Structure 1
Amino acid sequence: MYLTWLDSNSWLIEIADKRILLDPWLVGSLMFGNAAWFFKSERLTPREIPQNIDLILLSQGLEDHAHPATLQQLDRQIPVVGSPSAAKLVKELGYTQVTALNHGEVFSIPHLLEIRAVIGSPTGPTTMENGYILRDLVAGTAIYYEPHGYHTQSIQEFAPVDVVITPTIDLKLPLVGTVIKGQQSAVKVAQWLKPQFILPTAAGGDLSFSGFLLKFLKAEGTAESLRSLLAANNLATQIIEPKPWERFEVKLQKIAA
């Protein structure tokens, strides 16, 4: 299993001999509704779009997970798996092989890979987006991804999961509360899934930020404070802090049956 963190929520996951592009934002700036005054993020270093992608996996239909400019640059023939809102977006962009997954549904590449949609983050009063469990059917290894730290208790039935990709800090807004759940939420998912490793997502990386929203966002917690919380709860899960755009192998220990 190889992973490359592409900044923010974007990842290249190499599992089951497949290259999966997860929630890609790879070109241009990131804004919500083109409102640069409210929030804007830009890359500090120009990057080349990864090649030979077998699958695009989208957890949400919002711009920071299904980035329109990036999706317009990618080959429309690449298969896409996504939440219903993300699937609707890519169909409108002209993608030809699109699978919408509702919670509990599974996309599979026979004998190689299984992708299960689980309940993810709320993006409205009635909309719950997707988290995913990716399982290598040959190696028996698995990854769980939820980009805002909203973990549903029902994922316990799929434990153990070797690698968890989730926020590790809390991000809060006045009056709204916690919009990204990190510290205690990461401990909870570690208790449920017993992963060997946790990797942070939703962090900055090689990016710059501007806009009105930044005046109110408050980040709490660090990787070190999370390590202390894991140890205090007798959890052996380790934290890997990847560097942006550096491919690395996740070396998993074989667990005796």
Structure 2
Amino acid sequence: MAGHSKWANIKHRKGAQDKKRAKQFTRAIKDISVAVKEGGGPDPESNPSLRNAIANAKGVNMPKDTIERAVKKASGADAENYESVTFEGYGPHGIAIYVECTTDNTNRTVASVRSIFSKNGGSLGTNGSLEFLFDRKGVFVIEKEKLNRSIEELELELIEAGAESFDNEEDFLTIYTEFIDYGKMSEALEKLSIEVKNSELQRIPLNTTKLPLEDAKQIVSLIDKFEDDDDVQNVFHSLELTPELLKSIGEED
């Protein structure tokens, strides 16, 4: 699909950031908590959202006992009351930035996100102001070495389940679906006994903006500040991460 090759660079950057293990685990535990509260309880057999959250936690190598404790805590009377909130705004040089958070204190999160924008040359906008700049897609990442059939055979089967496009990279196969087909694809992969390393709804920019290197590094620094905030789960943006930029920040040989 046109534009997805540009998104590969953004995935690359996001994957590099997610190597921060403590942040990975915090995100996974919050996802489990929200899934238990909103998805229908602590039994993954009857709660597809929880099944997905547990699979993602395993994908970042969270220990089994940590996952079980997170599920138990989320279903208890003293569970944290998390809610999902989103923020939209612009960074320097007109780069669109979409921030997804999970928080137990919305006022704190609003203040923190607004501060990060304002202190780094950006501005917080109104919700809905950037919706037209991003497509919300289901994104599924599979380790190719764990496949139980050929790529060609799998792709044919998944097209019937709503697969829109594929990125066939060296070690991973990434599957993209429309937002409405996310659950359908999850069920299809489960029926095919395909182990998914990670699956989530992502906001993919319809167009990306290429900036001069130093300007682009300024945006990367802003994105890092958002991702370092404990309430932030995901950051999506319209910056084109060129090979030159990735090399300059030490993420590409």
Task: Give me the TM-score of the superposition, normalised by structure 2.
Answer: 0.26
Q: With CA pairs under 8 Å and 6+ residues apart, which has the higher RCO, 1 or 2?
A: 2
Report the structure, 1 or 2, having the larger helix content: 2
Structure whose CA Rg is larger: 2
Task: Give me the TM-score of the superposition, normalised by structure 1.
Answer: 0.25
